[in-house]
Amino acid sequence: MAALKIAPSILSADFARLGEEVRAIDAAGCDYIHIDVMDGHFVPNLSFGPVVIKAIRAHTKKPFDVHLMIDPAAPYLAEFAAAGADIITVHSEADKHLHRCLQVIRGLGKKAGVSINPGTPVSALEPVIDDVDLILVMSVNPGFGGQQYIPSQTDKIRAVKALIGKRPIELEVDGGVKPDNVKMIVDAGADTVVAGSAVFNGTDYVKTIQALRTAAQ
Ligand code: DX5
Ligand code: ZN
């Protein structure tokens, strides 16, 4: 099995020192920088947009894993690509034209991801399964960092893994991932885990990222 990828979510970082925080998680051995974009409409919170992504791009060479919690998504995809996104994930529940969004993302030369909320069935992925590079299973309701992992999502991760089968699609899990539940999540089929509060609420990022890797084994 390939090594677990860890994607710290900068939603829980110190925004006043964002460049420094990005350099710190890079040096601590993360695989991706997970970037949560919120619009106050699809989710009940606001975060940041392409200008902030562009500003932190110079601070790391690691892939930018951009999780769009915005509705619509289509009008902004080119801007996120230009700002430095490597993976762009849209929610199946957000834009009316999910398939078109995925086509546009790939057309921009980026990896296309689709995300499903805890209340969305796995079947929502079926029509687009051959049009995605990554599936992001939300294990909390999107909008905020620091929420509790929703246990019913473990069976869903397993079902998504089965749906993926042999396709070269990465399975990422986002929300409430901690050293004490990461093994269960990885055993269910996750290739990549997002960790926001688990990483940034601690003081030693190296230790936390290592603790996640060790716990997953
Ligand atoms: C929630 C975001 C998550 C969140 C994860 O809407 O998509 O990426 O920041 O934070 P933790 O790991 O604290 O649940
Ligand atoms: Zn996220």
Task: Give me the torsion for CA of 38, 42, 45, 46, rounded to 10°.
Answer: 40
How far is Cα 164 from Cα 210, in angstroms, rounded to an integer? 28
* pTM of this structure: 0.98
Mean pLDDT of 65-85: 98
pLDDT reading at 106 higher than 80: yes
Cα of 36 from ligand 2 centre, angstroms:
5
Question: Does 130 qualify as catalytic in the annotation?
Answer: no
The residue segments making up the domain with residue 178 are 5-216
Mutating to test ligand 1, I would choose from 21, 69, 147 the residue with most ligand atoms within 8 A of its C-beta, which is 147
How far is Cα 124 from Cα 65, in angstroms, rounded to an integer? 22
Task: Tokens 């996640």: give the residue.
Answer: 212
Structural contact between residues 175 and 149, judged by C-beta atoms closer than 8 angstroms: yes
How far is Cα 26 from Cα 10, in angstroms, rounded to an integer? 12
Structural contact between residues 180 and 215, judged by C-beta atoms closer than 8 angstroms: yes
- Burial (CB count within 10 angstroms: exposed 0-12, middle 13-18, buried 19+), residue 1: exposed
What's residue 1's pLDDT? Answer: 64
Mean pLDDT of 76-82: 98
Query: Which residue is catalytic, options 36, 39, 95, 133?
Result: 36
Number of domains in the chain: 1
What's residue 195's pLDDT? Answer: 98
* 195 CA: nearest ligand 1 atom: 12
| Token pair recorded at residue 76 | 């902004």
Residues 22-54 pLDDT 10s: 999 999 999 999 999 999 999 999 999 999 999
Question: Does 187 qualify as catalytic in the annotation?
Answer: no
Cα of 81 from ligand 1 centre, angstroms:
22
Termini Cα distance of the chain: 11
How far is Cα 168 from Cα 134, in angstroms, rounded to an integer? 9
Q: What is the DSSP letter of 184?
A: H
Assign residue 97 the CATH number of its domain: 3.20.20.70
What share of the chain has pLDDT > 70, as a percent?
A: 100
Mean pLDDT of 147-156: 98
What's residue 2's pLDDT? Answer: 82
- Average pLDDT of the chain is 98
Pocket around ligand 1: residues whose beta carbon is below 6 Å from it?
9, 11-12, 34, 36, 67, 140, 142-143, 145-147, 174-177, 194-198
Q: Which of 51, 27, 26, 23 is nearest to 37 (CA)?
A: 51
